Amino acid sequence: MTRVLAWFSCGDASAAAAYLAACKYGDNSAIGFQVCYCDTFAYEHPDNRRFFGDVERWLGFDIKILWSKEYRDIYDVFERTRWLVGIGGARCTTELKKNVRTAYQRVGDIHVFGFTADEQHRVDRFRRENPDLLAEFPLIDAKMTKRDCHAMVRAAGIELPMMYRLGYKNNNCIGCVKGQSGYWNKIRRDFPEAFDKMAKMERTLNAAICKREGVKDGKRWRERVFLDELPPDAGRYEAEPDIECGVLCIHEPTPNTLSITQD
């Protein structure tokens, strides 16, 4: 039997994509339709469990929770791999989402992902890097933006996850290693304990998430900025790109929000 796996991440875009997939495949007895979630509840906002249940009732399908067999949570990944984030992405996303998805999938599965019309560039990259994976992007096909997904979820009578209501662009773990200075200063204000925990982990690993760079005497320089040294007014979160944290682990270069030019 062909399986259709809609990958839900507790974000409203993945919820909207799962809903469209359920409408398309849910009544087809020849297809094994499933909605899957790779468990990262431990460091997500507690309201995500409420949203998870609301989405299950909306879809009319139980959401299958998948776990890593090797790691408990993001901090277990950080401590054991000694790695936070790099050009290729975040190790926590790789271990807790991408590898979990890979272990569960079968040849011939159709995967449904919640990329929106704002993210065609991510879909193009995905297709280049995963030419053998059968994938559908119903939000792209429907030309739905992130704003459209917000509206669809609200129209279903579901309150948006708390992280959106607090002004975050994505509903990731509280304190995502893909964020930059504007994001981390917002985390410092909203979730000081999460900020302090990550700051201590940076020192333990001697690895900084944020960077500062500039130009001096015609040469570009770059240096690490640890969270416990991050100026409270550094960065502007609204100007930073979205942080993608899904089963694909796509990481994009982030404009540096601490750029300084020295003459």
Domains of the chain: 2-71+96-165 (3.40.50.620)
Number of Cα atoms under 13 Å in the Cβ half of residue 134 = 10
**Helices (DSSP H) in 43-131: which residue ranges?**
47-59, 74-81, 91-93, 99-104, 120-129
Quick one: tokens of 117? 């019309």
Residue 241, pLDDT above cutoff 80: no
Buried b (16+ CB within 10 A) or exposed e, 112-137: bbbbbbbbeebbeebeeeeeebebbb
> Over 50: is that where the pLDDT of 259 sits?
no
pLDDT of residue 247: 54
pLDDT of 106 > 90? The answer is: yes
Of 185, 171, 181, give the one whose Cα is nearest residue 245: 171
pLDDT of residue 223: 85
pLDDT, position 177: 94
pLDDT tens string 24-66: 999 998 899 999 999 999 999 999 999 999 999 999 999 999 9
Please, which residues bridge with residue 171 across strands?
A: none
Closest CA to 262 of 222, 210, 209, 211: 222
As given in the structure block, the two tokens for residue 24 are 């398309």
Residue 214: exposure state from Cβ atoms within 10 A (0-12, 13-18, ≥19): middle
Higher pLDDT, residue 218 or 29: 29
Question: SS3 for 255?
Answer: coil
Which are the contacts of 196, defined by CB distance < 8 A and separation ≥ 6?
none
